[in-house]
Amino acid sequence: MPEVLPDEIRNVFSRSKCLFSKPEVETALDQMAQKMNHSLADKNPIFLCVVIGGIVPMGSLLPRLDFPLEVDYIHATRYRNTTTGREVTWKVKPQAALKNRTVVIVDDILDGGITMAEIVQYCREQAPREILTAVLVEKNNSRINGGLPNADFHGLRVDNHYVFGYGMDYKGYLRNAPGIYRV
């Protein structure tokens, strides 16, 4: 894989279009948290962060949630610092027991749905009481055959464009962009 240079990243950022500003993203996170507070308050859930992309959405959601919960993480990816998905690569599976628990899988984006579908399948094999999915961004009409059709909780919707910011990356960079941007 060719080296990505900071000048390339600056160029991509300068040419990108802001789809959602930081205040708009924060409002979407508030709304997601309200729905979660309403539906998960008495379920003693365990939240699984899908790293790396889910770190920012998960970290942004947790302080907004007002019920007892546990946190663990899972590392499964299709992109590996590229802009094109491949087969799912598993790096880390959760350490916490999922049996008889409400599991909430949190990621940055639901795109083709393949990664999330594989994570849901893995969790299902652990015999949880319930599996729910949450993403900051859900793409419209971009599911691949076999991909998870929709997330249970989502903050924003975008058309089928390559987007970055708030955890989503462009070749491993720009996860820290203060909004959601289209390349």
Q: What is the pLDDT of residues 78-129, one digit of tens each?
A: 765 555 656 888 899 999 999 999 999 999 999 999 999 999 999 999 999 9
- Beta bridge partners, 105, equal 48, 133
Give the pairing of strands 153-158 and 130-139.
parallel
User: Is the CATH number of domain 6-182 3.40.50.2020?
Assistant: yes
Question: Could you state, in order of their start, the residue ranges of all structural domains in the chain?
Answer: 6-182
How large is the average pLDDT for residues 52-75? Answer: 98
Token pair 């205040």 is found at: 23
pLDDT given for residue 77 in this prediction: 81
**Burial classification of residue 114, based on how many CB atoms lie within 10 Å of its CB (0-12 exposed, 13-18 middle, 19 or more buried):** buried
Residue 147 or residue 37, greater confidence: 37
pTM of the model: 0.93
The reported pLDDT for the residue numbered 34 is: 99
Three-state secondary structure call for residue 70 = strand
For the record, the structure tokens of 80 come out as 């590996």
Would you place residue 51 in the very low, low, confident or very high pLDDT band (cuts 50, 70, 90)?
Answer: very high
Rounded Cα distance, 150 and 113, in Å:
8
**Helix, strand, or coil (residue 161):** coil
The three-class DSSP label of residue 94 is coil
Residue pair 153/36 in contact (Cβ under 8 Å)? The answer is: yes
pLDDT at position 82 is: 56
pLDDT of residue 79: 62
**How many Cα atoms are found within 13 Å in the side-chain-facing hemisphere of 142?**
18
